[in-house]
Chain A
């Protein structure tokens, strides 16, 4: 518990023999890998192979699904995140998440960003909150577009703007890990490239894990790539290596478009 509260502690993440079950059905088989700090790691693989399931292990969002059971260890700074000592609320303040579909609260833009800091009591007064909101929106590259309409409804923003708002909302809590589950799947190429640039900017401050269906996107934004197939981690390594010299035939087939 202690270590999760240290704000700037190095977050080296390690998955050890992670298996996930939905009821009787096993969705992940003994996945083990290390995540580098302050870098972007992408998870790729055909639909239904368990990428989202794996990603949700890192902030215990699988707890929310009643039938879901996680075995194995996810270790962050020498603490097992699955241990009962870990408070998921505290963990999620440290491991932020951006979802596949932009899901702003049906409230104002300001309220969306301010909600996280508010529930965690991160701002002592209105000035501090204003600063957090502005800073997060700037980091998410949205400030210029919305600075004059912070009190407008967030649902009135475009899809790409909404997704960047969701990133700002996650950043505002001050996490050091960001999980992104196909953050660009609902966006057009322009909005996608804006978000990709954003990810590159953010990687200096956050450890980022991103699920994507776009090989190009994985190649562009990530330093490391993990390829999953049918719930198993098939190959994991430097993105360059994976895309130029895949060791495994399945990986090669997927990357060259033969499966998936």
Chain B
């Protein structure tokens, strides 16, 4: 720089590259070029390395989750020949009597029938140990099967009932049978019975539909994510219904109506700050205000949704303001110039044009909220709930909280299920983000 100005102002035509002959200058530039090329090559290499590292970690993460979780898509079932005593559950007309069916000892029936396969097992303790190969809920499963069919077959029929989670793990090769018996959840004699069942081909792996149709359970083989999915969905509905209109109105106000001044600046800064507040703080707030002060129900998706709405609000406000600003000011001038009021200008022209951006921001905010655990734990959505919630005030849990609960359980089978639940959660997140990208693509406007 200095060379340049010197050679021009003080001594034109004197020494210095600026006034040197063209070939000298070119040679100088060419000499420097090598260094510049090397620098840009290095930078490119660093960039590629960074991306490879990031993708590598992502792959490791996904591989771990998938390899841990995919087996939960299947469930082990055991074939048991059962003769249902029709007289004890049918009413006079020959239909299944709900009352009688409820009182009938289905679990006992299944266990007794299963024991018949092993006549050699006679001792009380041994018999109980044999029964542990079946799910504690096997009786309930049988009852459902028969009630769904609506008829009680006469004579012995083969039913497939769920095996216990330990048998399930053994079947899937997730249990090491070579380690010392004391360290094993399945004992040596149980292993013998298991092998006998396998030899008779009385055991199979089927698709684990329970996982997608049931809520949580103490027994891994009866536990499902539907309750958590519905809980999450209910909470997110509340979130959208609350956060979207509030955020859009706040953004429109801040962009178009707020009188410039200290107060507006203060609000602006704090909206941005709010986006950076750790989510657990919102949980504490919800606990103190919604539960403590307003006395709203614990563990309810309504309250969860309200807390998540608070958390999502700044995200949507910021996205909305950005997309409002992206609408060319000429459109606003045109509307105002025709005599449209500021509100008409915003509603008729600006918001429709900003809608794709607002929608994208909302989806991303909702996706964040879907993955949020801490604030929901604070307001009690971490409870053990065996029913699929049916209303906004039913106690419920949410998908990420369910994952948290299961990953904390001792049973290996729950660990496997929590991985599968993570896959379900990721699937939802990915499809939401894809939807956001597609919306943006579709509505990208050129003016």
Q: Which residues of A contact B (CB under 8 A)?
A: 59, 61, 64, 66, 89-93, 96-97, 99, 101, 103-106, 115-116, 119-120, 155, 166, 169-170, 173
Contacts and interface: CB of A to CB of B under 8 A. Distances in A.
A197 B337 CA distance: 23
B331 A103 contact: yes
A89 B340 contact: yes
B349 to A, nearest CB: 6
B447 A173 contact: no
6 contacts: A96-B338, A99-B333, A119-B344, A119-B348, A120-B339, A173-B339
Contacts of B198: none
A89 B349 CA distance: 16
Contact of B333 (A64, A104, A115): A64
Contacts of A105: 331, 334-335, 349
Contacts of B344: 119
Contact of A103 (B330, B339, B340, B445): B330
Given A103-B331, A105-B349, A115-B348, A97 B337 contact: yes
Contacts of A119: 338-341, 344, 348
B43 interface: no
A91 B337 CA distance: 9
A72 B328 CA distance: 31
Contacts of A97: 333, 337
B445 to A, nearest CB: 6
Contacts of A106: 331, 353, 445, 447
B260 interface: yes
Given A103-B333, A106-B445, A90 B339 contact: yes
A61 B54 CA distance: 51
Contacts of B30: none
B336 interface: yes
Contacts of B447: 106, 155
A87 to B, nearest CB: 9
Given A61-B333, A105-B349, A115-B348, A66 B260 contact: yes
Given A106-B353, A106-B445, A61 B336 contact: yes
Contacts of B337: 59, 61, 92, 96-97, 99, 170
A115 B338 contact: yes
Contacts of B340: 89, 115, 119
Interface string B120-139: 00000000000000000000
Given A105-B349, A106-B447, A119-B344, A99 B330 contact: yes
Contacts of B349: 105
Contacts of B341: 89, 119
Contact of B339 (A64, A66, A89, A104): A89
A228 to B, nearest CB: 21
A93 B333 contact: no
Contacts of B332: 64
A114 B338 CA distance: 11
A96 B333 CA distance: 12
A51 B341 CA distance: 25
B338 A99 contact: no
Contacts of B336: 61, 64, 92
Interface in B425-447: 445, 447
Nearest to B328: A103
A91 to B, nearest CB: 8
Nearest to B445: A106
Contacts of B330: 99, 101, 103
B330 to A, nearest CB: 4
Nearest to B260: A66
Contacts of A61: 333, 336-337
Given A106-B445, A155-B447, A116 B333 contact: no
Interface in B310-338: 328, 330-338
Contacts of A155: 447
Contacts of B331: 103, 105-106
A92 B339 contact: yes
Contacts of B334: 99, 103-105, 166, 169
Contacts of A90: 339
Q: Which residue, of A101, A103, A120, A169, has the highest number of chain B Cβ atoms within 10 A? A: A103
A155 B338 CA distance: 18
B353 A170 contact: no
Most-contacted residue by chain B among A66, A96, A97 (CB, 10 A): A97
Given A101-B330, A106-B445, A116 B339 contact: yes
B38 to A, nearest CB: 46
A61 B447 CA distance: 22
Given A115-B338, A169-B338, 19 more contacts: A61-B333, A64-B332, A64-B333, A64-B336, A90-B339, A92-B337, A92-B338, A96-B337, A99-B333, A103-B328, A105-B334, A105-B335, A106-B331, A115-B335, A115-B348, A119-B340, A119-B348, A166-B334, A173-B339
A144 to B, nearest CB: 24
